[in-house]
Amino acid sequence: MNKKKLFLLSLVVYPLLFAATTNAGFREPQTPIEIEPKPIEVVNVEIEPIDELVNAMIQVESRGNDSAIGDTHLGSQYAVGALQIRPIMVKEVNRILKLKGEKYRFKLKDRFSRDKSIQMFLIWKEFHHKDSDFEAIARSWNGGPNGPKKSRTYNYWKKVENQLAGL
């Protein structure tokens, strides 16, 4: 047996031999200590308004399904994931990251990760809609840069608004 194997074996065997030869197994039984349960402090966690918008949009976009695939009629430009992200949005978010000097880039498969989808959404929102209201953000997400001006995005906004209201 080489020295390395012998050394590793000794690391396992010596502690076992030591434990077996001590009188640790022959201690007198100890009286159990009674511990009074302490009350659990409940802390209210404040949810950011943007989190509420994201959650509402996830429900509208995919009903919360991280594996959802939509708009398959668009060929390779179909939308996927909880927020139904298209390849063009991944490209846009990566462009924003590059402008900010960040080295990280998202991949198309990241659209299936809820966390990464939300990160992409927040990067896009912060860059394009830093001071926009929820309606402008949601309608732009659904209809592109001119989304708030497009009549077809109004129904989308109403669905998101109903989710925000808990309907």
Residue 148 belongs to some domain of the structure: yes
Q: Read off the pLDDT of residues 119-155 as tens digits, 9 standing for 90 and up.
A: 999 999 999 999 999 999 999 999 999 999 999 999 9
Q: Read off the pLDDT of residues 59-97 as tens digits, 9 standing for 90 and up.
A: 999 999 999 998 877 777 889 999 999 999 999 999 999
Number of domains in the chain: 1
Mean pLDDT over the full length of the chain:
82
Of 7-21, 37-51, 107-121, least confident by mean pLDDT is 7-21
What is the rounded average pLDDT of the residues 43-51? 61
48 or 60, which is more confident: 60
Q: What is the CATH number of the domain that holds 116?
A: 1.10.530.10
What is the rounded average pLDDT of the residues 31-47? 54
Residue 75 belongs to some domain of the structure: yes
pLDDT value for 166: 86
Residue 107 belongs to some domain of the structure: yes
Residue 19 belongs to some domain of the structure: no
Whether 43 shows a pLDDT value over 50: the answer reads no
Residue 31 belongs to some domain of the structure: no
**pTM reported for the whole predicted model:** 0.69
Give Cβ neighbours of residue 68 (< 8 Å, ≥ 6 apart): 61, 62, 80, 81, 82, 84
**Which one-letter amino acid corresponds to residue 163?**
Q
What residue numbers bound the domain in which 80 lies?
A: 49-164
